[in-house]
Amino acid sequence: MASANVLVTGASSGIGRATALLFAERGARVFGTSRRERPDEGGVRMLRLDVRSAESVRECVGEVLAEGDIDVLINNAGIMHLGFAEETTPEEARALFETNFFGAVRLVDAVLPGMRERRRGRIVNVGSLAAWVGEPGEGFYAASKAALARYTESLRHEVWHLGIKVCLVEPGVFTTEVLNSSTANESAIADYDGPRESARATLQGALRKGEDPRKAARIVWKAATAKAPRGRYGAGCESLWVPPLKTLAPQRLVDAALRRAYGLP
């Protein structure tokens, strides 16, 4: 990985920042991105990027390519939307997908031509364990991460013969600033007031007790540097039991446990 050019989206805070700093520390030439102007930090060159804009993606990738080939793309940029499904408008849901799903797609489409030409490259998409569990108040966030997971799986098979490796990293709960940058519904339905507040309090409590983002960054490093990378890497304690629970446990038990955890009737 020494001297490799690495592009990390969403590198201003949380897992993205920890990942960018780790790669720089270990010898990579790292380009981090943020929607707002940010100073360079710890060997990471920060660039402005709005993943919702095709023009912004072209400009950012072009700026990196002017310095050399992109060896590794880490799609980490993402936002959370809080709100029950009926309260969320189609426009709000689309805005979430524009960042969490189509933003990653735009970056992949921008770097793949160069990787195909060189017959090598690594793409790591950072998803979420939310893709496995439709938690109350996070339905469209979970849907966007589930879409990213299946897209990543298909892409992995499509480019394998070209020498390009694609991986998915699914973090559990880590202490980040995700709630500070989250979006929420503009309208509310009174029938959901109690469950909504309970669900939000549960999420806030979990984030306060979350794990160190540097732990997730080490998993991203593993996915990006393994000679024979797996298709999916879990990150965090929850990643050890959430997928098996969803796969093996009876649905009624999973439902009961989730409602109890979120204080729902």
Domain regions of the chain by residue span = 5-261
| Active-site residue, selected from the candidate residues 141, 151, 192, 233 | 141
Q: Which long-range contacts (CB under 8 A, 24 or more apart) does 91-94 make?
A: 92/140, 92/183, 92/185, 92/186, 93/140, 93/143
Q: Say whether 141 is catalytic.
A: yes
Tokens 């805070």 correspond to: 13
- Determine the pLDDT at residue 93: 95
- Determine the pLDDT at residue 179: 66
186 vs 5: CA distance, rounded Å: 41
Instruction: Give every CB contact of residue 154 below 8 A, 6+ residues apart in sequence.
Output: none
Structure tokens at 256: 């009961």
Domain 5-261 CATH assignment equals 3.40.50.2000: no
- Determine the pLDDT at residue 26: 96
Reported pTM? 0.93
Decide: residue 207, CB within 10 A, 0-12 exposed, 13-18 middle, 19+ buried: middle
**Which residues of the chain are modeled with pLDDT < 50?**
none
* Strand, coil or helix: 241: coil
Q: In what order do the strands lie in the sheet with 164-171?
A: 44-48, 29-34, 5-8, 72-75, 121-126, 164-171, 232-235
- Determine the pLDDT at residue 175: 84
